[in-house]
Amino acid sequence: MAERIFGHIPNVYEGDNFENRLTLSHSKVHRPTQAGISGSQKEGADSIVLSGGYEDDQDLGDVIIYTGHGGRDPDSKKQVANQILSDKNLALAINCQNGLPVRVIRGASHKSQFSPEFGYRYDGLYKVVKYWKKKGKSGFNVWLFRLEKIDTDKSLGFEVKEDAPEYAKTTRTTVIQQRINRDYSLTIRVKEIYNFHCQVCNTKLFTNAGFYAEAAHIKPLGEPHHGPDTLDNLLCLCPNHHVMFDFGGFMIDDDFTLVGLDGKLTVKPEHQINKDFLRYHREHFTI
């Protein structure tokens, strides 16, 4: 299977139109030819289509209340059963918990003032800010997802000038894209290595969407630290210890002894941690 791309697809811009689901699929913007949600419960959802099939959808433009899938009679298309938080619905929940963007495509059959007249239109990136269960118009439970539009360029710390040449935009999009995806797959990997247990306290949190942990960079990414997005610069932490680590609440010695907290960092053999990054963290974040 081709790698799932989160965020914009290189060379595709907001407002681009597609004749039908097949051309949309070939563009990589939304790969499934029928399903409304593209994603997996492990990685999250990379794109959704609004096609007007679900009566509990609400399209307010920059805010969308999107109904999960399932529970419909294949012939009548009516809700005939409760939806459950699994498969693609779970994928959207993963986006919410991990702050992953989802591409939104509106189809002409979706009846709203924001729908295109014909075919399908790529409408940019949204974040999943909340999800909940509700009794839908049919009387059966549906899962709803609140999507809010994000300004990609600003949220990534880039200011793409209106008059920038196309080639520059393209290159930048590609570079940003590759970075997001590489970093995200490593995030999944470090969590899997520790099976979502915090390396500091061994806590394993669970939610209605499964287990929850955070991947923490030892030497921070970006300005001015320029830490790399590599496995040897990542830790699997619970949210509390992630916050403490980022804000210098504790340090980690070269032998993994914790400074400021009792005990030692749990480290698996398949996870080589670069001690230079531990040193960098000690030097720059200790009181």
Per CB under 7 A, 57 contacts DNA = yes
Per CB under 7 A, 41 contacts DNA = yes
Per CB under 7 A, 51 contacts DNA = yes
Residue 222, both tokens: 């970006």
Tell me the C-alpha distance between 182 and 234, whole Å: 13
**171 Cβ contact list (under 8 Å, min separation 6):** none
Per CB under 7 A, 42 contacts DNA = yes
Q: Which is nearer to DNA, 91 or 176 (CB)?
A: 91
Q: Which is nearer to DNA, 68 or 220 (CB)?
A: 68
Q: Which of 74, 139, 165, 269 binds DNA (CB under 7 A)?
A: 74
- Contacting range for DNA; rule: CB under 7 A; set: 25-33, 178-186, 216-224, 225-233: 25-33
Beta-carbon count within 10 A of 122 CB? 24
Per CB under 7 A, 191 contacts DNA = no
Per CB under 7 A, 25 contacts DNA = yes
Q: Which of 103, 110, 191, 281 binds DNA (CB under 7 A)?
A: 110
**23 Cβ contact list (under 8 Å, min separation 6):** none
**Biggest CA pair distance of the chain:** 65
SS percent in the chain: helix, strand, coil, step 5: 25, 25, 50
CB of 27 to DNA, least distance (A): 11
Q: Which of 12, 14, 16, 52 binds DNA (CB under 7 A)?
A: 52
Q: Which is nearer to DNA, 110 or 219 (CB)?
A: 110
CB of 45 to DNA, least distance (A): 8
Q: Which of 1, 117, 151, 222 binds DNA (CB under 7 A)?
A: 1
Q: Which is nearer to DNA, 105 or 278 (CB)?
A: 105
Tell me the C-alpha distance between 98 and 265, whole Å: 24
Q: What 8-state DSSP symbol labels residue 8?
A: P
CB 100, CB 6: distance < 8 Å: yes
Tell me the C-alpha distance between 236 and 195, whole Å: 9
Q: Which of 69, 121, 241, 281 binds DNA (CB under 7 A)?
A: 69
Per CB under 7 A, 111 contacts DNA = no
Tell me the C-alpha distance between 85 and 68, whole Å: 8
**C-alpha pair distances (Å), 40 with each of 87, 173, 203:** 6, 24, 25
Positions that interact with DNA (CB under 7 A): 1-2, 4, 20-22, 25, 31-42, 49-54, 57, 66-67, 69-70, 72, 74-75, 87, 107, 109-110
